[in-house]
Amino acid sequence: MIGTGPFGQQPAGRFSSDIPRERLLYLEESPRWIRARLAGKTVVSSTRPRLLHESGRLPVLYFPEGDVRTDLLRPSDTEETDELKGTARFWSLAAGERIVEDAAWSFDGPELSGLIAIRWDAMDEWLEEDEPALKHPRDPYHRIDVRASSRQVRVSLDGSPLAESSRTKLLFETSLPPRFYFPAEDVTRVALEPSDRVTACAYKGEASYWSVRVGDRVEPDLAWTYRHPLHDAEPVQDMIAFFNERIDLDVDGERWERPVTGWSRAPGG
């Protein structure tokens, strides 16, 4: 199984022999204090959550039943069967006048018996210890490294230069292509048009976007910045990055291949 590295599709690597491709589960205890709130009510507060890892999926938090406000749960008719986890039953969640359908579930498989999961986007707020947790549970095996780089880096679109610098910051993130972040003054700002788009990353924080205009072409939400990043992304605060997937990227005179990821198409494209 071979990937094409930073010049193409991620991830890169080679196994010494073929390995089974079936889906795998790994459930681990976490020492983190996790809370979730809806309509001002604390739905779950746990210092003994479990983090379920499934190959090819984001991790999911499961909580001992005693750490969940089960009095706020209302049985749902929804059921789901999974060959590894068993049969799931769902509950809707009622907090004050707010009702969220199918907001919680549990599986009857032996590994997950007695544990309840809460749908992340069903809650108004998640806290890890006393800090907000964004987007989804943080994976303790997910890593971000930022390194200053003197490589000569040039970004262009349809032959029009968008940025050029020998003082970028290179952000390496687990399972994602490397991203070059440019000082704002090394970016052709006249090509950038502010966008209303804001996204959240569990590890880097909230990103604000620009679209890029080249002649009559507008490439939506092509560049972004972190104005108030989380700790791991602080070195790239207020710097500007572009999606490698949708621009031409030259590094020390060598054209990098465009990686193929979920960002290869513009939002809504």
Say whether both 118 and 194 belong to one domain. Answer: no
Say whether both 62 and 153 belong to one domain. Answer: no
Closest CA to 155 of 60, 247, 72: 247
The answer to whether residue 16 sits within a structural domain is: no
pLDDT tens, the chain, 269 aa long:
233 333 344 445 665 666 555 678 899 999 999 999 999 999 999 999 999 998 878 899 999 999 999 999 999 999 999 988 999 999 999 998 899 999 999 999 888 999 999 999 999 999 999 999 999 999 999 999 999 999 999 999 999 999 999 999 999 999 899 999 999 999 998 899 999 999 999 999 999 999 999 988 999 999 999 999 999 999 999 999 999 999 999 999 999 999 998 888 877 65
Please identify, among 74, 108, 132, the residue that sits at the C-terminal boundary of a domain: 132
Q: What is the pLDDT of residue 264?
A: 87
Q: What is the pLDDT of residue 56?
A: 78
The answer to whether residue 2 sits within a structural domain is: no
The answer to whether residue 34 sits within a structural domain is: yes
Give the max Cα distance, the chain: 63
Strand order across the beta sheet in which 41-46 lies = 41-46, 34-38, 125-128, 131-132
Q: What is the pLDDT of residue 19?
A: 55
Say whether both 154 and 247 belong to one domain. Answer: yes
User: Tokens for 228?
Assistant: 């108030």
Say whether both 103 and 173 belong to one domain. Answer: no
Question: What is the separation, in whole angstroms, between the first and last Cα of the chain?
Answer: 30
The answer to whether residue 265 sits within a structural domain is: no
Q: Residue 79 belongs to what domain range? A: 25-132
Say whether both 147 and 108 belong to one domain. Answer: no
Please identify, among 112, 132, 152, the residue that sits at the C-terminal boundary of a domain: 132
Say whether both 188 and 96 belong to one domain. Answer: no
The answer to whether residue 7 sits within a structural domain is: no
Q: What is the pLDDT of residue 20?
A: 59
Say whether both 71 and 95 belong to one domain. Answer: yes
The answer to whether residue 98 sits within a structural domain is: yes
Say whether both 163 and 236 belong to one domain. Answer: yes
What are the two backbone dihedrals, phi and then psi, of residue 97, each rounded to the nearest 5 degrees? Answer: -90, 0
Q: What is the pLDDT of residue 17?
A: 62
Say whether both 150 and 189 belong to one domain. Answer: yes
Contact yes or no for 122/93 (Cβ under 8 A): yes
Number of domains in the chain: 2
Say whether both 235 and 158 belong to one domain. Answer: yes
Strand partners, 186: none
Q: What is the pLDDT of residue 3?
A: 35
The answer to whether residue 267 sits within a structural domain is: no
The answer to whether residue 48 sits within a structural domain is: yes
Say whether both 127 and 33 belong to one domain. Answer: yes
Say whether both 70 and 147 belong to one domain. Answer: no
Contact partners, residue 90, CB within 8 Å, separation at least 6: 76, 78, 79, 80, 102, 104, 105
Q: What is the pLDDT of residue 16?
A: 63
Contact yes or no for 89/79 (Cβ under 8 A): yes
Contact yes or no for 220/195 (Cβ under 8 A): yes
Q: What is the pLDDT of residue 22?
A: 67
Q: What gap in Å lies between CA 208 and CA 240, rounded to an integer?
A: 10
Please identify, among 92, 111, 132, the residue that sits at the C-terminal boundary of a domain: 132
Which domain CATH number covers 155?
2.170.150.40
Q: What is the pLDDT of residue 244?
A: 94
Q: What is the pLDDT of residue 25?
A: 87
